């Protein structure tokens, strides 16, 4: 697969609604898009999930721009890529920077699938033709606003509700939700807001029949999560702690979690995502696809990876209209009765809307091979 060029675009998009978690609030998103062009004029697209502040991980759109330009893309220039699985190996010299790596690797995977005339989902080994969709509800200004939001999302057909919790916005809130919605598929994401000192408090989570509690403890921990899981009935799901198949193996061996939230960007791309999928399938650890408020390109990649067999919980893969007034792809991602149909067109299955992307672009650069 001979690349002719890679183009980076820094775009800025306004979110329809602010999104608040235990670590902060996002009102808009700066996004780095990656376009890999081959000699026949075919393009593959990827999207970095980094934001402008290093509050979810250590990367930002600005570190992405630097690492992609100065280190990652030069590692692809000299030798043609035979298969996308090679890309993460070429990047081994660069430590971390998984969001940046995943965005470039994703563009190469999309281009590869298009060259093979295959939907990306099929190229990854996907087996589903549609996926169940969940929604992540940010922390709201009041309990009544949160209950209203949940009511609305259930009417829209979402298969699972994920609420954000933190100290002082947790047990009471979950009790109110369960009082109004006793039977819905409900989970909570703490985004690292607790410590083992909160063990007695966290045991109250077992009152609510949650499908899981996501990342209650530190972002880089699997030891304390194992101690906590031994005391909780509610399954722990790890998000921030898992950056590779090796991390997943260790967390599974220690009993740190019973479920993993897979995010393509957090683990450095689709090749590593497939490895994590396979190791979790082998150990009966179900997966679901987390979200990072992606635009349509990143959302398309999330939909494709969710087509693999061991993604058995609804993911944070809400349709375009949940996030954006206007998305950067055509058609936009749509949901029907709580499902998204996996596109059967080549590659990611959605076309980048170049007119919208150009309007949103604040900086771009093409590296010629």
Q: Which residues are catalytic?
A: 164, 263
Q: How far is the CB of 134 from ligand 164 (least distance, A)?
A: 9
Quick one: 43 or 261, whose CB is closer to ligand 164? 261
Q: Does 26 bind Mg ion (CB under 5 A)?
A: no
Contact (Cβ atoms closer than 8 angstroms) between residue 157 and residue 338: yes
Residues 197-216 that bind ligand 164 (CB under 6 A): none
Q: How far apart are the first and last CA of the chain?
A: 12
Q: How far is the CB of 320 from ligand 164 (least distance, A)?
A: 11
Residue 56 binding target from ligand 164, Mg ion, none, CB below 5 to 8 Å by type: ligand 164
- Residues 201-240 as x/- pattern, contact with Mg ion by CB under 5 A: -------------x------------------------x-
Q: Give dist(CA 263, CA 311) in Å, integer.
A: 12
Q: Give dist(CA 30, CA 44) in Å, integer.
A: 20
Q: Of the ranges 60-68, 174-182, 226-234, 286-294, which one interacts with ligand 164 (CB under 6 A)?
A: 286-294
Closest C-alpha among 91, 93, 95 to residue 103: 91
Residue 303, SS3 per DSSP: helix
Q: Does 316 bind ligand 164 (CB under 6 A)?
A: yes
334 known ligand binder: no
Residues 221-250 that bind ligand 164 (CB under 6 A): 239
Residue nearest to ligand 164 (CB): 291
Task: Write out the DSSP string of 74-105.
Answer: HHHHSS--SSTHHHHHHGGGS-S-HHHHHHHH
Contact (Cβ atoms closer than 8 angstroms) between residue 284 and residue 103: no
Tell me the three-class secondary structure of 196-261, residue by residue.
HHHHHHHHHHHHHCCCCEECCCCCCCCHHHHHHHCCCCCCEEECCCCCCHHHHHHHHHHCCCCEEE
Q: Does 335 bind ligand 164 (CB under 6 A)?
A: no
- Residues 168-197 as x/- pattern, contact with Mg ion by CB under 5 A: ---------------------x--------
Give the relative orientation of helices 98-115 and 296-305 as an angle to the nearest 10 degrees.
70
Q: How far is the CB of 218 from ligand 164 (least distance, A)?
A: 14
Q: List CB contacts of 250: < 8 A, sequence separation 6 or more.
A: 222, 256
Q: How far is the CB of 245 from ligand 164 (least distance, A)?
A: 20
Q: Does 47 bind ligand 164 (CB under 6 A)?
A: no
Q: Does 21 bind ligand 164 (CB under 6 A)?
A: yes
Residue 264, SS3 per DSSP: coil
214 known ligand binder: yes
Instruction: Kindly state the number of chain residues that form the binding site for Mg ion, as judged by CB under 5 A.
Output: 3
The single residue among 33, 202, 318, 335 that binds ligand 164, judged by CB under 6 A, is 318
By CB under 5 A, name the binding residues for Mg ion.
Answer: 189, 214, 239
Cite the annotated binding site for Mg(2+) by residue number: 189, 214, 239
Binding site for ligand 164 (CB under 6 A): 21, 56, 136, 189, 191, 239, 290-293, 316, 318
């Amino acid at each position: 697969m001979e690349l002719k060029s890679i183009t980076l675009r820094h775009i800025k998009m306004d979110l329809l609604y602010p999104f608040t978690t235990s670590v902060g609030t996002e009102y808009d998103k700066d996004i780095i898009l990656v376009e890999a062009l081959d000699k026949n004029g075919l393009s593959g697209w990827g999207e970095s999930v980094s934001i402008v502040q290093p509050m979810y991980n250590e990367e930002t759109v600005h570190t992405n721009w630097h690492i992609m330009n100065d280190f990652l893309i030069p590692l692809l220039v000299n030798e043609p890529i035979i298969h996308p699985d090679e890309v993460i190996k070429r990047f081994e010299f660069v430590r971390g920077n998984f969001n940046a790596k995943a965005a470039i690797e994703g563009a190469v995977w999309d281009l590869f699938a298009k060259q093979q005339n295959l939907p990306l989902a099929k190229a990854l080994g996907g087996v589903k033709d549609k996926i169940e969709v969940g929604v992540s509800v940010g922390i709201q200004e009041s309990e009544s606003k949160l209950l209203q939001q949940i009511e609305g999302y259930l009417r829209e057909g979402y298969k699972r509700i994920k609420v954000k919790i933190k100290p002082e916005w947790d047990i009471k809130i979950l009790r109110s939700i369960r009082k109004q919605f006793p039977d819905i598929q409900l989970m909570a994401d703490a985004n690292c807001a607790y410590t083992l000192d909160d063990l007695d408090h966290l045991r109250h989570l077992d009152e609510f029949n949650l499908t899981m509690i996501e990342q209650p403890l530190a972002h880089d921990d699997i030891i304390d999560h194992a101690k906590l899981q031994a005391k909780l009935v509610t399954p722990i799901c790890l998000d921030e702690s898992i950056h590779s198949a090796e991390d997943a193996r260790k967390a599974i061996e220690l009993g740190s979690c019973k479920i993993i939230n897979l995010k393509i960007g957090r683990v450095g791309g689709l090749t590593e995502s497939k490895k994590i999928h396979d190791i979790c399938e082998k150990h009966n650890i179900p997966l679901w696809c987390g979200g990072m408020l992606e635009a349509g390109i990143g959302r398309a990649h999330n939909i494709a990876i969710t087509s693999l067999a061991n993604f058995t919980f609804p993911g944070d893969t809400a349709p375009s209209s949940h996030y954006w007034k206007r998305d950067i792809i055509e058609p936009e991602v749509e949901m029907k009765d709580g499902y998204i149909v996996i596109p059967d067109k080549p590659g990611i299955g959605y076309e980048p809307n170049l007119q919208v992307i150009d309007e949103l672009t604040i900086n771009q650069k093409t590296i010629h091979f």
